[in-house]
Amino acid sequence: VVLADAGQDSISPDPGVAVSTSPGSSAKKKVVILGTGWGGMSFLKNLDSTKYDVQVVSPRNYFVFTPLLPSVTSGTVEARSITEPIRRIIRNKDVKFVEAECTKIDGVNKKVLCKDASHLKCKGKEEFELEYDYLVVAVGATSNTFGTKGVEQYCHFLKEIEDAEKIRGRIVDCFETASLPNLTDEDRKRLLHFVIVGGGPTGVEFAAELHDLVHEDLMGLYPYLKDDVSISVLQSGDHILNSFDGRISEYAEQKFSRDGIEVKMGSRVLGVTDEKISFKSKSTGELVEIPYGMIVWSTGIGTRPVIADYMKQIGQTDRRVLATDEWLRVKNADGVYALGDCATVEQRKVAEDISYIFKLADRDGDGYLNVAEFVETMENVKVRYPQIEHYMERQHMKGVLGLLNDAMTKGKDLKLDLDHFSEAICKVDSQMKSGPATAQVAAQQGEYLARSFNHLASDNPDDGPMRIRGSGLHRCKPFCYRHLGQFAPLGGETTAAELPGDWVSIGRSTQWLWYSVYASKQVSWRTRALVMFDWTKRFVFGRDSSR
Ligand code: FAD
Ligand code: MG
Ligand code: MG
Ligand code: MG
Ligand code: MG
């Protein structure tokens, strides 16, 4: 049965990469990777670079461990402790790196246009072109300002290492300036009002870090400013951390309120000037203007210009990120793959293929599915439609039999006709998850794509472990995201965690879990040692407050 290929009409027959090097043919296929973040590095690390001619392009010659960026803003961890030079990562690999920014993807001629990203320019030689057979786009995203006036000019973002260092300097600046002799009370209160726009994981973690820095270190050094410091979080929704379990949002809101961090829900920012931020309260419709010393803007992701331009070329307009299929191939493009924050996987719905699936499953052609037919079919199609497996996990059912049980209660019979079959099965589409914009997703996608590339370049790609059972056309399984849980550090050595299986854990012990997970996730022993050293240093001596 070729069930795993239902819906093939919209997908080209080959799952993507063609076989590159059969022994004897010397020309390796050219793979160009754009980006040295989570997606790009995970792909590079898992790729068998002997099988392809690999070239990496990025304006940064290092990888950043972004989950610890908020700790850099407060000086809990030093910037250099969470970066790993790309040249160290590739030193034992047959891979080339150029420090440049890709400014245009030319999908027609299979070329990328690049521009030197350094400050030191070689006149007339800044721009160059690179050809590719396969392009892996992992350029990440920008901060989304929603076109709000003054944000670009006056707010701080928290995306890159430089951003975190600037924030660290600005906090200390605010305290030093507020200590000058001829200020009014009003000036001091303004300078020491820190505003965070966005109550997502990054905004909340930053607010918590800032609160710890102020209360554990700066209060002792600037005791006379004790009553002038305030921290506010402006959130457009009704809760902070709304991508987390409700118990965690609630706990975080209570903890912030105990800590004196003011959370203003339902606030939509209208504009920012050099000294004031104005917003509208959704519930009361009231316009509010408040003075600030520093604003950190963290409200989700926007599109990089190079991606916006490319989306226009391939007709993917009115979108924020590139759409790919489940094999991470960019739709309407040839030989281009995208992963991480700049892309999203558009899974095919079971509903679209339901009659096709039914026809193939009904082996004896009697118009009904019996138990054996149903079970076999589900085992087969769940590879093509990972949402079926998610559904089964969610319902805590024991695999296919649970789903069958569910379907049978609909059909009230041991046989299912098409209507009952589709009624029972199509609800699995509601379990479709397009992965969130996280490092976890980007890293899993990078690893998946590298394994596909390795597999298809192997001598006998048609019968490797990645092959879909019963499939004559697709040689690799579709990508399927596994959510391993998420952390929300809330300050004061307290962390909330959401773990697989509906598990929520909050408190100091979870903070220790956080320390150990993030230490173990470091990309090298060097950064692991540096990060652990920074944590220890902070415990013993506190944070450094020099600007
Ligand atoms: P990135 O990692 O952003 O990498 C993009 C790369 O592309 C960079 O190297 C960049 O220099 C390069 N690039 C940019 N433009 C170009 C161009 N024109 N040409 C070539 N290269 C280019 N996720 C979690 O799962 N857990 C967390 O705890 C977590 N915490 C976070 C905290 C902060 C402060 C931030 C900002 C993010 C956090 N994330 C976290 C999200 C995570 O960092 C992103 O989802 C992840 O980095 C996405 O990976 P990526 O490869 O798509 O992009
Ligand atoms: Mg990347
Ligand atoms: Mg990164
Ligand atoms: Mg994505
Ligand atoms: Mg039948």
**How many A from CA of 7 to the centre of ligand 1?**
33
Instruction: Check residue 227 and give left, alpha or beta (phi > 0: left; psi -120 to 50: alpha).
Output: alpha
The domain ranges of the chain are 10-141+303-346+436-463, 144-300, 350-427, 484-541
| 270 confidence band (pLDDT: 50, 70, 90) | very high
pLDDT at 374: 83
Q: What residue's CA is closest to ligand 1, atom 9?
A: 36
**How many A from CA of 274 to the centre of ligand 2?**
34
Second CATH level (architecture) for the domain 144-300? 3-Layer(bba) Sandwich (3.50)
Cα–Cα distance, 480 to 389 (Å, whole number): 10
Q: Which two tokens stand for residue 436?
A: 């969130």
Which atom, in ligand 1's list, is nearest to the CA of 340?
52
Closest CA to 31 of 58, 51, 59, 11: 51
Cα–Cα distance, 523 to 299 (Å, whole number): 27
Please compute the mean of the pLDDT values over residues 45-60 and round it to a whole number: 96
- Quick check: helix, strand or coil at residue 31? strand
Pocket of ligand 1 (CB under 6 A): 34-40, 57-60, 66-67, 69-70, 101-102, 138-140, 158-159, 202, 304, 306, 340-342, 437-440, 442
User: 388 and 378 in contact (C-beta within 8 Å)?
Assistant: yes
pLDDT at 396: 57
- Give the chain's length: 547
Q: Which two tokens stand for residue 191?
A: 């300078």
Highest average pLDDT, of 347-356, 452-461, 468-477, 516-525, comes from 516-525
Which atom, in ligand 1's list, is nearest to the CA of 159?
36
Residue 371 host element (H or E): helix 371-384
Q: Do domains 144-300 and 350-427 have the same CATH topology?
A: no
Percentage of residues in the chain with pLDDT exceeding 70?
Answer: 88
Q: Which two tokens stand for residue 217?
A: 């270190």
**How many A from CA of 138 to the centre of ligand 4?**
10
- Domain 10-141+303-346+436-463, CATH: 3.50.50.100
Pick the more confident residue, 248 or 459.
248
Please compute the mean of the pLDDT values over residues 493-519 and round it to a whole number: 92
**How many A from CA of 196 to the centre of ligand 1?**
20
Which atom, in ligand 1's list, is nearest to the CA of 70?
34
pLDDT at 66: 97
User: 37 and 342 in contact (C-beta within 8 Å)?
Assistant: no
Q: Ligand 1 pocket: which of 32, 45, 58, 83 to mutate (most atoms <8 Å of CB)?
A: 58
User: 241 and 199 in contact (C-beta within 8 Å)?
Assistant: yes
pLDDT tens, position by position, 209-246: 999 999 999 999 999 999 999 999 999 999 999 989 99
Contacts of 329 by beta carbon, 8 Å cutoff, 6+ apart: 16, 336, 337
pLDDT tens, position by position, 117-156: 888 888 888 999 999 999 999 999 999 999 999 999 999 9
Pick the more confident residue, 351 or 511.
511
User: 253 and 263 in contact (C-beta within 8 Å)?
Assistant: yes
Please compute the mean of the pLDDT values over residues 366-390 and round it to a whole number: 82
Query: What is the CATH superfamily name and number for domain 350-427?
Result: EF-hand (1.10.238.10)
pLDDT at 464: 52
| 19 confidence band (pLDDT: 50, 70, 90) | very low
**How many A from CA of 323 to the centre of ligand 4?**
9
pLDDT at 97: 97
Closest CA to 543 of 171, 181, 185: 171
Distances (CA, A) of 414 to 92, 368, 373, 427, 506: 60, 10, 11, 20, 46
| 386 confidence band (pLDDT: 50, 70, 90) | confident
Cα–Cα distance, 48 to 451 (Å, whole number): 9
Pick the more confident residue, 297 or 425.
297
Distances (CA, A) of 125 to 57, 116, 376: 16, 8, 60
Pick the more confident residue, 373 or 399.
373
Q: What residue's CA is closest to ligand 1, atom 3?
A: 140
Cα–Cα distance, 390 to 92 (Å, whole number): 39
Q: Is the pLDDT of residue 413 over 80?
A: no
Phi, psi of 157 (to 5 degrees): -105, 170
pLDDT at 200: 95
